[in-house]
Structure 1
Amino acid sequence: MSGAAGAAPLSLDDFVDADPAQARIGQLLFYDPILSGNRNISCGTCHHHDHAGGDGLSLGIGEGGTGLGPDRTPGTGDDRIAKRIPRNAPALWNLGHRSIDVLFHDGRLEVSDQFGNGFDTPAEEWFPEGLDHIVAAQALLPMTSEFEMAGNVGENEVIGAVRDRIDLGWPILAKRVRTIPEYGEMFVDAFDHIDHSSEVTIVEIGNAIGAFVASEWISIDSPYDAWLTEGTPLPEAAERGRQLFFGSARCATCHSGPLFTDQGFHALSLPAFGPGRTRLFDQVSRDVGRMAETDLLEDAYRFRTPSLRNVALTAPYGHNGAFATLEAMIRHHADPLASRARWRPADARLPDVPWLAAGDFVIRQDRFEMQRQKARLDIHPAALSATEIADLVAFLQALTGETVDQRPLGRPNRVPSGLPVD
């Protein structure tokens, strides 16, 4: 089925292959703080099973913070965070689908032969060869981010190496992992080309995490999937919402295909706040989105279309988590400028960080930047009644998988490093 009827059905054949033994290593590494510069945060801290692969915050608290999800705090003393994470933690559902060839809100990771290693990344020609797919490649980049996992300058050898050149931190992390006997033995058993733990590199680590993420977060058993493949009727409100979604509301213009994303980039004029993802020459706390990667003015303030599968579980919404509910996000799509005018700082899910509070919303005082963002809009208003918005919400809720709480591996109770597991 396609067009007004619905998106194409999904099957397990649509996903990349994942070796179970490698995925088991990846599960442990995903939750092991050993891969962070200061050994105090893991991938799972911001992409946790308890929070549907996210953290429930508009802008996360990365390296230096303590706790989990909406209860995470920014730390104290010398270890406290120096900056909020500039963007919302994206969900992990169905990242292993074979159609995915671009990741991150700004698309800074793409399948490409430009640098001879299979990917176009911030590491350019220094990105390692041999990664199995884009999910494995994605796993490496947060490790090099100062405020996500690497730590502040001067705190550890990883961030020091990354500051010299982005790829120089990975060998340090790989040595940490392979010198832990339990990990070393697991890599020898799971990878045919590894005969001794000393041969383990960041490539095997990335491929193990990629195998875990690609297999762990498959979700293709929603009520919508049952309607699509078996003709099982949706609840009445969800059926009305489906017809709106693929019809007059025009949602499927961008949220198309089996994952409900065109993998494209669009400007929604979302309310701005936070530290921004600034470039070296940016003088204000802004986020220009896709333009930061392409240097094309036409890409200013455009961000990647997210998948909508399990979207009801992954609030808040938008590249900066500006909206806490599906209803609010739909209202923004229906009338972006009116929504932008209504938005207030209290709408953001931001844990209190007193030493950063002065900068959290400072960008909103820059009237020239606000006008630039307001003027960049790729979506057109759609008149929707309160009932129609409720029906769209019902349809989006029908995209939630029946077995989302039954993941193949889940969160481990312990990790080989012996470090705490969030």
Structure 2
Amino acid sequence: MTKRIRLLILVPATLALFAAAVPLPAADRPVPDLPAPVTDADYMATDPAMVALGRLLFWDPVLSGNRNIACATCHHPRFGTSDGVSLSMGEGGIGLGPERRGDPADLPEQRIPRNAPALFNLGATAFTTLFHDGRIEADPAKPNGLRTPLDDEMVQGFSGVLSAQTMFPVLAPDEMAGHYGENDVSKAVRSGQLTGPGGAWDLIAARVAAIPAYRQGFEAALPEVAAGRPIAFTDISNAIAEFMAVEWRSDDSPFDSHLRGEAPLTGAAARGMALFYGPAGCSNCHSGPFQTDHGFHAMGVPQLGPGKAERFESHSRDEGRFRVTGRAEDFAAFRTPSLRNVIATAPYGHDGSHRDLTAFLRFHADPVAGLAGYDRAQPVLPPLESKPDWAEMDNPEERARLAAAVVTPPVVLSEAEIADLMAFLASLTDPVALSGRMGIPETVPSGLPVDR
């Protein structure tokens, strides 16, 4: 008898149970209802001058408090625009990717609580909510069009959510700002000075403005800066957003060729596509041209690392969307990730709980059983003596809470069908986007080292 496994899907229970009981033979599956192909109209407009500035700023460590970490440190094309580890090491780390280690002279206080997400297609206008918990969202009712944890402290001038997301890493002590008291930026963050004269953003903008190449570049790109307005942090973040939108636009995969009628998928990839958009139910969450509904779902992913606790809290939980909304039904729910180039973006899950994509699919077959038998060798965790990585998984009550949050039913798929799904996921790979269109600059205007 063919071995079969249970794969979690987000569909009404009756449909899921029917699919589990009566899986369709491959030859009898209907042609799936596919999304429309991606076009230029799906992406934000960009200015080549701002893109060029953003490229340099993305790779320049000058934006970090201690001038030792760039955006690229944790979002590197070598690791699928992430960093190849489950939980990043920001301030206090040395090296790149899985080889990154704590600096013995200035050890990190803890790991970054969540996996560094990939950057593909974030310039698409469909992406109006960012971060694993969606704590930054487009909101036309707000004066600046954005809803963020800073709320009324948010300044105007961010071009959108992709630009505004840059404010979080530069203000986070464990990511880019630096430990308390180490530099002017970290001191400003500690004192709560974020905006205005002497605020963290103002200090970073002043650093950039003091470098002639950047000052001249912004004067050429922005008439108001040429007319005398000081360079603002929002100018920097807008430039980085435009660069990311161009550099990692991803719509030239075999799947895109299929959608455009240029080269149909065949064999295992075609069978996997029929499953993905059909009886496996994957597309109920991973919907649309970028394979995400931009929604939030509790999928029972094991909790590891320091969690998301306030300074006055002692737990290691990551309550996900609940911390943003306060709604009980959002406990342990995280944003549905896009699956573009997913083969190259390991580890997987909001905290990188799985290094292997097939293992991650198998875990989704039955998260409750998966939590009980979870293989703790799955994460990629460079050594760091800090807050224990497994505090929540060692707590039976917390494991039970994660299991109880899962409300979606399973579907039965064979091993051959899992292989077909993996073939379809591979068809979402875009080599141009993976390598980047402009690549790594040889140097950056600050003269600081570039992570290569």
The 5 A counterparts of 1:297-316 are 297-316=328-347
Instruction: Please identify, of 18-27 and 68-77, the stretch whose mean Cα deviation from structure 2 is larger.
Output: 68-77
Aligned-pair identity in percent equals 45
Q: Residue type matched to 1:373 in 2?
A: L
- Match among 218, 223, 246 for residue 187 of structure 1: 218
1:267 alignment partner AA: A
Match of residue 344, structure 1, among 353, 363, 375: 375
Task: Report what 1:240 is aligned to.
Answer: 271
CA separation in 2, counterparts of 1:255 and 1:281? Answer: 36
Q: Residue in 2 aligned with 1:16? A: 44
Aligned to 2:201: 170
Matched-pair contact (CA < 8 Å) for 2:248–2:434: no
Local SS of the residue matching 1:383:
strand
Query: Which one of the candidate residues 289, 299, 304 is aligned to 1:273?
Result: 304
Q: Secondary structure at the match of 1:86?
A: coil
How many correspondences in the alignment? 418
RMSD in angstroms over aligned alpha carbons? Answer: 1.6
**Shift in Å at residue 121 of structure 1?**
1.1
Q: Distance in 2 between matches of 1:406 and 1:364?
A: 37
Post-superposition offset of 1:243: 0.9
Write the deviation string for residues 342-375 of structure 1: whole angstroms up to 9, x where unpaired. Answer: 212211100011x22x611122222222211110
Q: Which residue of 2 aligns with 1:69?
A: 97
TM-score (norm 1): 0.96
User: CA shift at 1:405, angstroms?
Assistant: 4.3
1:295 pairs with one of 306, 312, 326: 326
Q: Is the Cα–Cα contact under 8 Å of residues 38 and 155 in structure 1 kept in the other structure?
A: yes
Query: Using the alignment, how far apart are the partners of 1:417 and 1:252 within structure 2?
Result: 45
Superposed displacement of residue 206, structure 1: 0.9
Instruction: Indicate the SS of the match to 2:403.
Output: helix
**Alpha-carbon spacing, 1:369–1:406, altered in 2? closer, same or farther (3 Å):** closer
Q: Which amino acid aligns with 1:305?
A: T
1:320 Cα deviation after fit: 0.4
CA distance in 2, matches of 1:379, 1:412: 46
Q: Which amino acid aligns with 1:11?
A: T
Mapped partners of 1:27, 1:234: distance in 2: 34
* Contact 1:96 1:214 survives alignment (8 Å): yes
Q: Which runs of 5+ in 2 are unaligned?
A: 1-29
Once the 2 structures are TM-superposed, how far is the Cα of residue 7 of structure 1 from its aligned partner?
Answer: 2.0
Q: Once the 2 structures are TM-superposed, how far is the Cα of residue 235 of structure 1 from its aligned partner?
A: 3.4
Deviation at 1:379, TM superposition (A): 2.9
**How does the TM-score come out when normalised to structure 2?**
0.89
Q: 1:324, CA displacement in angstroms?
A: 1.0
CA distance in 2, matches of 1:416, 1:107: 33
> How far apart are the structure 2 equivalents of 1:388 and 1:239?
11
Matched, 1:201 2:232: yes
Q: In the TM superposition, what is the alpha-carbon distance from 1:50 to its structure 2 partner? A: 1.5
What is the aligned counterpart of 1:322 among 342, 349, 353?
353
In 1, Cα distance between the equivalents of 2:429 and 2:205?
37
1:91 aligns with 2:122: no
145, 161, 166: which one pairs with 1:139? 166
* Residue aligned with 1:230, SS: coil
Q: Provide the C-alpha distance between the structure 1 equivalents of 2:429 and 2:152, rounded to a whole number of angstroms.
A: 39
Q: 1:403 aligns with which of 425, 428, 432?
A: 432
Q: From the CA coordinates, give the structure whose radius of gyration is larger.
A: 2
Determine the C-alpha separation between the residues in 2 that align with 1:417 and 1:312: 35
Partner of 1:365: 394
Q: Is 1:124 equivalent to 2:151 in the alignment? A: yes
Gaps of 5+ in 1: none
1:52 partner amino acid: G
Secondary structure of 1:185's aligned partner? helix
Post-superposition Cα deviations, 1:166-218, rounded to whole Å, max 9, x if no partner, equal: 44310010001001111101110111221267610101111111110111110
Q: 1:291 to 1:280 in 2, by over 3 A?
A: farther
Aligned residue in 2 for 1:33: 61
Provide, for residues 104-129 of structure 1, a one-character-per-residue CA deviation record: whole Å limited to 9, x for no partner: 00001000145411111122111120
Determine helix, strand or coil for the equivalent of 1:420. coil
> Moved runs in structure 1, 4+ residues, more than 4 A?
none
Q: Flag the 1:187–1:280 CA change in 2: closer, same or farther, 3 A.
A: same
- Relative distance call for 1:303 and 1:405 in structure 2 (3 A) is closer
* Change over 3 Å in CA distance of 1:36–1:3 after alignment to 2: farther
Q: Which residue identity does 1:177 align to in structure 2?
A: V
TM-superposed deviation, 1:4: 2.6
What is the alpha-carbon distance in structure 1 between the residues aligned to residue 286 and residue 154 of structure 2? 31
Who is 1:333 aligned against? 364
- Residues 258 and 345 from structure 1, CA distance in 2 versus in 1: closer, same or farther, beyond 3 angstroms? same
CA–CA distance in structure 2, aligned partners of residues 170 and 378 of structure 1: 42
Counterpart of 2:137 in 1: which secondary structure? strand
Distance 1:68 1:392, change over 3 A: same
Aligned equivalents of 1:56 and 1:71: distance in 2? 9
Q: Deviations over 1:290-332 (max 9, x none)?
A: 0111111111100000001111110111000111122111112
Task: Give the AA of the match of 2:445.
Answer: P
